[in-house]
């Protein structure tokens, strides 16, 4: 894996200020924040940034947010889900406005990453806001000429809870190399033809590349979701080292 | 922008009681549950098949089956743990065998100098200076809050080096290897800090 084993950079990843260029409501509980960095040398899809807030008494809070935009974009997009009783997400969702400056640093992380140089096929499996880093991968993939075969299985509570739905549907419509499958766990439209309930082994078996094709898995979501999916994939015979996971703790921010 | 003084975030107010703040390293927040962070699937390890090895160069200084390991002197410690993903959990209780007792068990009066690489099921590795494991600072833990450590949290046995960021407390530990020269482990060769002191906020390379 060339990308992940790249030689460690000795330079500190400096804090910088990003100007908020836009705030986009994605769902009732989720917004995307689009930042203009002061300087940015690019990132790999799947990487994250750290956000730091400072109160007037000097108190600071930090959280990590995955980057949703592809490396081809000059602006950085992070997508934030409201965490009940959270300290940072309510601020980002309710208080932050266009024109504000947000302190952040990045990009961070060299394992849960995919670029087209790593080839494929890739199976992306998202639970809720876990779609964010996978969206960066899909946006990156869409901007390349060689559309590496990809599956996305996206589990959400209901259709209105699906983040980036129009963009995802558009991508899948335009591109035969991408298969998009939603699993709606709590509420489904009456005529819903797709999967109802949690992602199970049958759904995975029908929507993952076979073992002979050596797919790489990127599984991102809440802890229970990732634990469940990754152990199902191991049971199905996929090589554990081909399953890359990123878990969102239940207590984020 | 003044490098030493980060700008105040307009409208951001601290919600944290002061008593807790003093136990939180910079940039950390308090959690009461126990989030799971791993790079891949949780391995299925049966205690009956589990073994731990202590290695120096080409030779094995000692190796223990589960039963043999359980028969070593047990120590319980209460400590705060700090994950690089920003959560801190206070007053966690762990039981297991201290690194000191492991050295005694193989008849070493003085530990070899240098560093230790922890090797784990699933291929995970992490490097820790020997100086950070001795004098009661390091343990191979088999119980958390009085119960066997759950597989997703690193059971049956994980390293515990609580004064460093928690990725150093490697899950699913199988082998400890002494090294004269330092080598980076899994996260240490992927952009994370080589040492990882939370109080100096050494999260990433160059911090």
**Structure tokens, A46:** 């799947």
Q: How many CB pairs under 8 A join A and B?
A: 138
Q: Domain total for chain B?
A: 1
pLDDT digits (tens, 9 = 90+) for A75-100: 999 999 998 888 899 999 999 999 99
pLDDT digits (tens, 9 = 90+) for A235-250: 999 999 999 999 875 4
Are B174 and B52 contacting, i.e. CB atoms less than 8 angstroms apart? yes
The answer to whether the Cβ–Cβ distance between A87 and B29 falls below 8 Å is yes
> Is B61 within a domain?
yes
B47 CB neighbour count, 10 Å cutoff:
15
The counts of H helices and E strands in chain B are: 3, 11
Which residue is listed with tokens 């703790």?
Answer: A249
Chain B CA closest to residue A244:
B40
> Is B9 within a domain?
no
> Is B5 within a domain?
no
Which strand ranges, in their side-by-side order, compose the sheet holding A178-184?
A: A195-196, A178-184, A150-156, A122-127, A216-222, A243-248
> Is B13 within a domain?
no
Are A112 and A125 contacting, i.e. CB atoms less than 8 angstroms apart? no
Domains of chain A: 5-108 (2.40.30.10), 116-248 (3.40.50.80)
> Is B151 within a domain?
yes
DSSP helix/strand/coil, A73: coil
Q: Residue B19: what pLDDT?
A: 63
B21 CB neighbour count, 10 Å cutoff:
12
Interface test with A, best of B9, B24, B183 (most A CBs within 10 A): B9
Instruction: Give the closest of A57, A59, A227 to B152, CB-based.
Output: A227
- Rounded to whole angstroms, the Cα distance separating B76 from B143 reads 9
B41 contact residues in A (CB cutoff 8 A) = 230-231, 233-234, 240, 243, 245
> Is B30 within a domain?
no
- Please, which residues have CB within 8 angstroms of residue A168's CB and are 6 or more apart in sequence? A138, A152, A154, A162, A180
DSSP helix/strand/coil, B41: coil
Range of the domain at B160: 49-200
pLDDT digits (tens, 9 = 90+) for A209-232: 999 999 999 999 998 999 999 999
A133 contact residues in B (CB cutoff 8 A) = none
A177 CB neighbour count, 10 Å cutoff:
16
Q: Residue B1: what pLDDT?
A: 47
Interface test with A, best of B191, B194, B205 (most A CBs within 10 A): B191
Instruction: Give the closest of A50, A100, A245 to B41, CB-based.
Output: A245
> Stretch B165-181: mean pLDDT, rounded?
97
Instruction: Give the closest of B8, B38, B123 to A56, CB-based.
Output: B8
* pLDDT tier for residue B32 given thresholds of 50, 70 and 90: confident
Instruction: Give the closest of A9, A231, A247 to B205, CB-based.
Output: A9
Chain A CA closest to residue B30:
A251
B123 contact residues in A (CB cutoff 8 A) = 241
> Is B93 within a domain?
yes
For B70, list phi and psi in degrees, rounded to 5: -65, -20
Q: What is the CATH number of the domain that holds B132?
A: 3.90.420.10
pLDDT digits (tens, 9 = 90+) for B35-80: 778 889 999 888 889 999 999 988 999 999 999 999 999 999 999 9
Are B97 and B139 contacting, i.e. CB atoms less than 8 angstroms apart? yes
> Is B18 within a domain?
no
The answer to whether the Cβ–Cβ distance between A245 and B40 falls below 8 Å is yes
Give strand pairing partners of A189.
Answer: none
The answer to whether the Cβ–Cβ distance between B33 and A100 falls below 8 Å is no
Give strand pairing partners of A219.
Answer: A125, A245
The counts of H helices and E strands in chain A are: 5, 12
- Please, which residues have CB within 8 angstroms of residue A58's CB and are 6 or more apart in sequence? none
């Amino acid at each position: 894996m060339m990308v992940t084993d790249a030689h460690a950079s000795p330079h500190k990843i400096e804090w910088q200020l990003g100007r908020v260029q836009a705030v986009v409501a994605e769902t009732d509980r989720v917004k995307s924040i689009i930042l203009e960095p002061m300087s940015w040398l690019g990132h790999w899809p799947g990487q994250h940034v750290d956000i730091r807030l400072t109160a007037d008494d000097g108190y600071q809070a930090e959280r990590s947010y995955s980057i949703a935009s592809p490396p081809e974009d000059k602006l950085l997009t992070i997508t934030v889900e409201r965490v009940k009783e959270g300290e940072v997400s309510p601020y980002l969702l309710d208080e932050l406005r266009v024109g504000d400056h947000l302190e952040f640093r990045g990009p961070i992380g060299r394992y849960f990453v995919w670029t087209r140089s790593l080839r494929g096929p890739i199976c992306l499996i998202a639970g809720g806001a876990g779609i964010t880093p996978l969206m960066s991968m899909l946006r990156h993939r869409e901007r390349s000429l060689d559309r590496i075969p990809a599956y996305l299985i996206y589990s959400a509570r209901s259709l209105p809870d699906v983040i980036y739905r129009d963009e995802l549907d558009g991508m899948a419509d335009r591109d035969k190399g991408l298969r998009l499958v939603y699993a709606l766990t709590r509420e489904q439209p009456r005529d819903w033809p797709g999967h109802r309930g949690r992602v199970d082994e049958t759904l995975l078996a029908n929507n993952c590349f076979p073992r002979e094709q050596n797919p790489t898995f990127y599984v991102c979501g809440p802890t229970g979701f990732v634990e469940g999916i990754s152990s199902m994939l191991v049971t199905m015979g996929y090589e554990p080292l081909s399953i890359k996971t990123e878990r969102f703790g239940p207590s984020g921010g | 922008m003044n490098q030493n003084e980060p700008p105040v975030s307009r409208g951001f107010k601290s919600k944290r009681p002061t008593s807790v703040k003093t136990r939180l390293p910079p940039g950390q927040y308090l959690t009461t549950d126990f989030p799971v962070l791993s790079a891949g699937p949780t391995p299925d390890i049966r205690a009956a098949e589990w073994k731990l090895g202590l290695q120096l160069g080409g030779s094995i200084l000692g190796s223990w089956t589960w039963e043999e390991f359980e028969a070593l002197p047990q120590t319980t410690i209460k400590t705060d743990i700090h994950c690089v993903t920003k959560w801190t959990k206070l007053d966690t209780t762990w039981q297991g065998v201290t690194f000191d007792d492991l050295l005694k068990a193989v008849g070493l009066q003085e530990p070899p100098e240098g560093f230790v690489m922890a090797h784990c099921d699933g291929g995970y590795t992490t490097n820790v200076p020997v100086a950070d494991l001795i004098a009661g600072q390091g343990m191979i833990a088999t119980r958390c809050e009085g119960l066997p450590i759950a597989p997703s949290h690193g059971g049956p046995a994980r390293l515990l080096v609580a004064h460093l960021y928690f990725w150093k407390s490697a899950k699913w530990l199988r082998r400890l290897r002494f090294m004269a020269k330092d080598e980076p482990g899994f996260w240490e060769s992927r952009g994370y800090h080589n040492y990882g002191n939370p109080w100096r906020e050494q999260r990433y390379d160059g911090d």
